[in-house]
A and B are shown apart, each in its own frame.
Chain A
Amino acid sequence: MLLNQFLILGALLFSLGIYGLLVRRNAVMVLLSIELMLNAVNINLVSFESFLRNTDVGGQIFAIFVITVAAAEVGIGLAIILMIFRNRTSANIDELDLMKW
């Protein structure tokens, strides 16, 4: 297996995530796109780990850290979206112009 095939798949997932992040209106769907980008990073970390084959398996451990932080991020993110929805009765981020000058 080439290393590049994994890196290019990761790049594809990351750019798809960026597209979704920029184009979605609903805040929950923006979070879904962010998950896609974090997943692309995980693919890169694990494939580099398999490529370098360090004895300290740092790549896989950092992938686990990324998964943990992503779980925390989703929890907090959804709580914030819930608050916004309660106060504004809408979870569309383009209607959140409260702090727009």
Chain B
Amino acid sequence: MTDWIAEPSNWVFLVLALVVAGAAIRVVTSTNVVHAALFLVLALGGTAGLFLLLSAEFVAWVLVLVYIGAVIVLFLFGIMITRAPTGPNVEVDHQRRAPAAMAAVLVFIVTAGSALTAFGDEQIGNLGGGTSTEVIGEQLLQRFVIPFEVVSFVLLAALIGGITLARKDASPAEEEAAEAEEVTV
């Protein structure tokens, strides 16, 4: 334990982990939807810091760009458009909190317990200069080229699907009314 504390990178980890865990707790307990989304930004920013600590620079900046830059903006738009309750005293949680907390604690015990038994004292060794983006790019277009193409197709399908779903179609009654109007004109 004293060895663990003596390592400076563990101090950085501790600070980041406390920020991430605190922000994550606020994401699931905050009664204000906008605050929950902004605490998710904090949690994701801390995670990007952890990725930098693990010398995964490219993934860290992808996380910042895609999540904090785009996904959160999308969330804030969703909150505004659906007029989600933003006042302080609205019921954002339903009443059966105890079974949900029990399920979460159970999952935590199982996953953390199995991690502790499987990787007791395994160290992440000296990380050196980090992963170069060049290596990631090469691997992405060599070994992982098929998943890469599949995921680009998924993105295209999501784009088209999102537009089709969110487009405002006239209801059948309105369409009939418009047709009748055309006839009279």
| A residues whose Cβ falls under 8 Å from a Cβ of B | 1-20, 22-29, 31-33, 35-36, 39, 42-43, 46-47, 49-51, 53, 55-58, 60-61, 63-65, 67-76, 78-83, 85-86, 91, 94
Contacts and interface: CB of A to CB of B under 8 A. Distances in A.
Contact of B139 (A12, A16, A19, A56): A56
Interface string B84-125: 110000011110110111011101100110011001111111
B144 A14 contact: no
B185 interface: no
Contact of B122 (A14, A25, A51, A73): A51
A31 B27 CA distance: 11
Contacts of B122: 2-4, 51
Contact of A83 (B51, B92, B165): B165
Contacts of B157: 72
Interface of B: 4, 7, 9-10, 13, 17, 20-21, 24-25, 27-28, 33, 36-37, 40, 43-44, 47, 50-51, 53-56, 58-59, 62-63, 66-67, 70-71, 74-75, 77-79, 81-85, 91-94, 96-97, 99-101, 103-105, 107-108, 111-112, 115-116, 119-125, 127, 131, 135-136, 139-140, 143-144, 147, 151, 154-155, 157-159, 161-162, 165-166, 168
A65 B144 CA distance: 10
Contacts of B94: 23-25, 94
Contact of A15 (B58, B62, B105): B105
